[in-house]
A = this chain, B = another copy of it.
């Protein structure tokens, strides 16, 4: 029940947010055992909201917790030797941030709020301990990490092999699928990141992102109004990306 409100803490009833949480697969299968749900629920801290631009954690900081986004959006990035920022991911509600810090006990990236954002903090040592007692919890953790590896590798394919059109289309469809999975519209949503951030993430210049999106609109693939996006011709977009089939692209957590 990572994403429930505190006043539900000791209730076995799940809030609607919980049901869409990436941790739900982690919580729900064991929801029957109220005491387990409560044990998990009790290690989770709800933090005060982050304002736009605030850091959740920064590159090099000691790792203690992973975080589930409750509302809002985060980006993760690292600062390269040449001082530029390289965005490595965007995190929507119900997604988990910080797993890369487990290895050497320090976060290798920073996480920053793109808008007002609330998160659940899950102290990793507690989670790990609890996972010893609840095998299905441990298995879900392995699965989550495996999924992340899978997704990152799809991103490598995108960066290494795709052209600008395919990159932008993949990006939009990926967001679409993530929204849909959580019960929001798959065809109409708001981008919480700037064009510059999209370009940075996709390995493209801002201008290229802008041009591609304008062209997509001209060709009737999407409808752009600032940060509001509608996918008008979903099949054509999917054709552009190259249909489904690849790993967990579509199932991006």
Contact = CB atoms under 8 A, between A and B. Distances in A.
A161 B247 contact: no
Interface string A41-77: 0000000000000000000000000000000000000
Interface string A69-89: 000000000101110101010
Interface string A227-253: 000000000000001110111100100
The CB with the most chain B CB atoms within 10 A, among A141, A144, A246, is that of A246
Contact of A88 (B131, B157, B201): B157
Contacts of A2: none
A161 B84 contact: yes
A77 to B, nearest CB: 10
A17 B141 CA distance: 30
A171 to B, nearest CB: 13
A101 interface: yes
Given A88-B153, A145-B142, A148-B149, A161 B203 contact: yes
Contact of A157 (B86, B99, B101, B138): B86
Given A99-B146, A146-B100, A81 B245 contact: yes
Contact of A100 (B101, B135, B153, B251): B153
Interface in A129-173: 131-132, 135, 138-139, 141-150, 152-153, 155-157, 159-161
A147 B103 contact: yes
A80 B161 contact: yes
B132 A100 contact: no
B86 A143 contact: no
A93 interface: no
Contacts of A159: 156, 159-160, 203
Given A103-B147, A149-B99, A156 B155 contact: yes
A186 interface: no
A109 interface: yes
A221 interface: no
Contacts of A246: 78, 80-81, 108
A202 interface: yes
A160 B139 CA distance: 32
A14 interface: no
Interface of A: 78, 80-82, 84, 86, 88, 99-104, 108-109, 128, 131-132, 135, 138-139, 141-150, 152-153, 155-157, 159-161, 200-203, 241-243, 245-248, 251
